[in-house]
Structure 1
Amino acid sequence: MKVFTDTNYREHGARNLVEYLDKEKGLENRAGEEMSDEEIEAFIEKSEEYEFEREVIISPQNGTDLSDDQFSLYTRQVMSEFCKDRNTATYCYAIHRDTDHPHAQVALTGTKRDLWMDKEDCEQLRERAQEQFHDQHRELTKELSHQFEQTLQHETTHELETESDRDLDHEQDSGPEPEQAQAQGPDS
């Protein structure tokens, strides 16, 4: 499964980028929570202070199969890894499904030194995104397999209970055994 990544940077604040990212359903912060207007403004002010912003686009090949929650988690995992040793770097992002290829668009801000990426850094970001995607895909597969097994077990148990109920109903519908009918006699 492939993951497409792209990135670019600009030496100015992130206001235009953030406003663009906010077009569809809002921005999310590093915790995956929707950002308030105050948080968005604080992010923009920080970017203006640093006078540097970077945009990252992450688009897994099967993005259409991911829920927004899965896409959000995946994006945060990739970006948290990227920001780990970059002390001033922070980000917000949005999931966009307005194209044939759903993608996360990330706005980063920080010092030029922390956001600088050479060709090798870009390749490492792509590799990290690929690894995170495979890890998440593996976890999702395990979870779905577990859910399938539970559903199958529940259906099997339900089927056995239904069969048992049908057997009991059949025994009750057929009336008393012939010996019991004779023992009761006509006057019983």
Structure 2
Amino acid sequence: MGVLTFSLNVTLDGCVDHQEGIADDETHAHFTRLLHEGGAMLWGRITYEMMEGYWPAVARGDVDAPPAIREWAVALEAKPKYVVSSTRTDFPWTNSHHVTGDLREAVQKLKDATPAGVLLGSGTLATELDRLDLIDEYQLLIHPMITGHGPKLYQGGLPSTRRLELIAARPLSNGAVAMHYRRAR
């Protein structure tokens, strides 16, 4: 059985706006490594639509991009992508699949079928899956900035505090810190 790992960029004040943060080679290499280690991606519809509008073109070479960004795009293109949506059923991007039925059962089934683990990359969906007690690990890249705006991590709230165990903390040369936690049970 694989684990479900929530992985996202976040600023010191909890902002998870995709336009905030340091988008350099080192950051992309970090997320490419996570992508290679995992067996599949899991997103909500909004994140999927944001990603499908740009990354396939980078992977095909239709958009000029530095090597680290292209490597991320190519790895993402090949990775199975699962999408939770109640408003959309057609997901044409390569290796994309619609998650249907009961959310708890569907995500648990995906975890069970993915020994290398599932990487969750949507903030709103993470809140829902954490409420269902399905997230096992957290790999957050903390960026050295305070934005004072934007969507916040766990903006929808949780029913109780989540205690975490530190697995690793790795500073990047750009000032960001890669934090890896496991859920304390």
TM-score bracket for this pair, using the shorter chain length: under 0.3
Structure (1 or 2) with the greater strand fraction: 2
Whichever of the two has the greater Rg, that structure is 1
Normalising by structure 1, we get a TM-score of: 0.23
Normalising by structure 2, we get a TM-score of: 0.23
Give the structure, 1 or 2, with the largest relative contact order (CA under 8 Å, sep 6 or more): 2
